[in-house]
Chains A and B, each alone.
Chain A
Amino acid sequence: MAQVVLKQINKFYDSVHAVKDVNLQIRDKEFVVFVGPSGCGKTTTLRMIAGLEAISSGDISIGGQVVNELAPMDRDIAMVFQNYALYPHMSVFDNMAFGLKMRKFDKSEIVTRVNHAADILGIQELLKRKPRQLSGGQRQRVALGRAIVRHPQVFLFDEPLSNLDAKLRVQMRVELKKLHQRLGTTAVYVTHDQVEAMTLGDRVVVMKDGWVQQVGEPLELYNQPANKFVAGFIGSPAMNFSTVTVTERDGGLTAVNGGMNIVVPPHLVDRLKPHANQQMTLGIRPEDLRVANGSDPAGLSFDSKVEVIEQLGSEILLDVRVGDGTMVASVEPTTRTKIQESLRLAMNPARLHFFDAKTEAAV
């Protein structure tokens, strides 16, 4: 029963317009991730939902109630901070119990709830310790515990995993996902890590410069990015972009630049026709490139020169020079090649992206 609705949300800091016209309906039990580079307004948006920042204009409602004027404590939310924000002078138990004490819960109820949360998170034996006696991962669990004991309507997460080392981050990511599946509480999660966004979110909101760029399910963002920014932000390694000129030839369209001469696949021809004889940005993901074999049509492959070889075990990343630009290709781990060697690469025609060179919107 706790959907969160953002209606025309704006935030100004003096002359800085930090968040611009954000509209979003977060469904009950949904896990929504805000992702974007630093300074994009994602954390500010989260803090406005929490009530830690005033809203300059617009409405935020939680569970059907407009909360613009409500203090954080009256919004029935819980928040996990980037630095955990555990009370350093209190034991783990007291940290988790604090919110319940402030809300005047019975002693026995507090003990039951804290123990239950500690069980879920596997921190039962840490309850007597102080935060500084805990490792980063344990502190993270306590911060989560403090959030879940209250049974709030909404969880807010502000980059909760960014202070953990890479291995622990992957582990906690999985645990967070499990926790959400178990509790089913609506969650809003802020991160700058697109992998976290893709793996955790039911839906992902990509932001940049205060604007929402695209809202969608992870694969939707990956497969149909709305613009060049989303295309480049989602996916790792990032999508390759090259500037091409679209020209009409033999009744079809061809995308041409110094190193490539790509025949535009039939399903894109109609959409690209209005852009004939214009510059466009061609996008292709590294994983949609492969080493060409003899049967690949000339119109879907191009020559390149290998500059850097990155062996990842499961794949090989090749940094290659194409014309006067560079690209990254993710190829089979069995591929044999050498630096400075010429290599012909083929692209998957179904997975070509074209963006307007000026507006950067997907075509």
Chain B
Amino acid sequence: MAVEAVSTTLGSAPPPRRQRLLEDERWLAFALLVPTVVLLGMFIAYPFIRGIMLSVTNSRVGVEGEFVGLANYYKVWNDSIFRTAVYNTFFYTAVTSVFKLALGLWLAMLLNRNFRGKAFTRAFILLPFIIPTVLSTFAWKWMFDPTFSVINWTLYQLGAITGRINWLGDPDLAMASIIVVNIWRGVPFFAISLLAGLQTISPELNEAAAIDGAKPWHRFWYITWPLLLPVTMVVLLFSVIQTFADFQIVYVMTGGGPANATHLFATYAYQIGVGTGLLSEGAAISLAMFPILFLVVIVQLLYIRRVEVR
């Protein structure tokens, strides 16, 4: 009886049209998806497509330009600075990633222990990550300054050097310097993410392994490392993408110098596209990153999936 009564009331007063539309799952899904599609389209798809279109023209600042095919790519390919930038980017990414992973993992394992002031230390570790990169990089730039360098001063006082080291003036030292800053800035991200991963591993597993006769190194290698691997791969993926496209540290520290020795993809693209005004060539340089990053992402995502399925 009650059921009947309810259905009669519903039948006698149909809901307004708008409400009925929202009850249709296809419409609802569409309505919920629209904001995302608009945002992604405006801020990712459009710039990306515009970049591709730019890179096949000869437009400059103030000049619309015409279609020139792959001429820009051809030019870039034969540009020795571009080649240096490619090499630098790979070198920079590889070296910093290895150090960031190693140091971050080490810090994460330390922070995963119980000690007094644990919460405070964890927050403190995050500092390099929180400070705006440009600001902290300026501070580093001072530390590497040939005249005012606190590093030179310390080494001099310790008697390790007699003259000044021109950190940012020597191509190799400049590369080493920006690598140091990138590591300093990136380690907290690794440490905190890996710490979160470590905390999902039950301490009982380590205890069980200890009773099973595994020494600390074996416990890390057979238990902790494989269980942390999915998290490690995700963190590494993010870091590689970010480092590969890094801009701020190099731009502030060296501006790509000395003599274009520390250019990365992003700084060189900026210099050509915005600094020199050759928009289409800059776009071509930026887009040269795309296939490489795409490959990195595919490989790592496939690997993560395999690890997770295990």
On A, residues with C-beta under 8 Å from B are 50-52, 71-73, 77-79, 81, 83, 85, 87-89, 98-99, 102-103, 130, 146, 150
Contacts and interface: CB of A to CB of B under 8 A. Distances in A.
Interface in B206-237: 207-215, 218, 222-223, 226-227
Given A98-B222, A102-B218, A130-B310, A85 B202 contact: yes
B205 interface: yes
Given A87-B223, A88-B227, A89-B310, A81 B212 contact: no
Contacts of A79: 207-208, 211
B204 interface: yes
8 contacts: A73-B212, A73-B215, A78-B211, A83-B204, A85-B204, A89-B310, A102-B214, A102-B215
A85 B210 contact: no
Contact residues of A: prevailing secondary structure: loop
B111 to A, nearest CB: 21
B213 A85 contact: no
Contacts of B214: 73, 98, 102
B172 to A, nearest CB: 42
Contacts of B210: 51-52, 71-73
A98 B208 CA distance: 10
Contact of A52 (B205, B207, B212, B215): B207
B310 A102 contact: no
Given A98-B222, A102-B218, A130-B310, A87 B213 contact: no
Given A85-B204, A87-B222, A89-B227, 9 more contacts: A52-B210, A71-B210, A77-B211, A81-B204, A85-B202, A85-B208, A87-B223, A99-B211, A146-B208
Contacts of A146: 208, 212
Nearest to A83: B204
Contact of B213 (A50, A83, A102): A102
A78 B209 CA distance: 10
Q: When A and B form their complex, which 8 residue pairs have the shortest distance between CB atoms, in order from nearest?
A: A99-B212, A102-B213, A85-B204, A85-B208, A73-B213, A72-B211, A72-B210, A102-B214
A279 B109 CA distance: 59
Contacts of A130: 310
Nearest to B211: A72
Contact of A103 (B205, B209, B213, B226): B213
B211 A98 contact: no
Contacts of B202: 83, 85
B208 A102 contact: no
A215 B110 CA distance: 42
A70 to B, nearest CB: 12
Contacts of B204: 81, 83, 85
A72 B207 contact: yes
A71 B210 CA distance: 8
A87 B210 CA distance: 12
A50 B215 CA distance: 16
A103 B214 CA distance: 8
A99 B208 CA distance: 9
Contacts of A72: 207, 210-211
A89 B207 contact: no
Contacts of A83: 202, 204
Nearest to B205: A85
A102 B219 CA distance: 10
A130 B223 CA distance: 15
A19 B207 CA distance: 21
B210 to A, nearest CB: 5
A98 B227 contact: no
Contact of A98 (B207, B212, B215, B226): B212
Given A83-B202, A85-B204, A87-B205, A50 B211 contact: yes
Contacts of A102: 209, 212-215, 218
Contacts of A51: 210-211
Interface in B191-205: 202, 204-205
A71 B213 CA distance: 9
Contacts of B212: 73, 98-99, 102, 146, 150
A3 to B, nearest CB: 20
Contacts of B222: 87, 98
A77 B212 CA distance: 9
Nearest to A158: B204
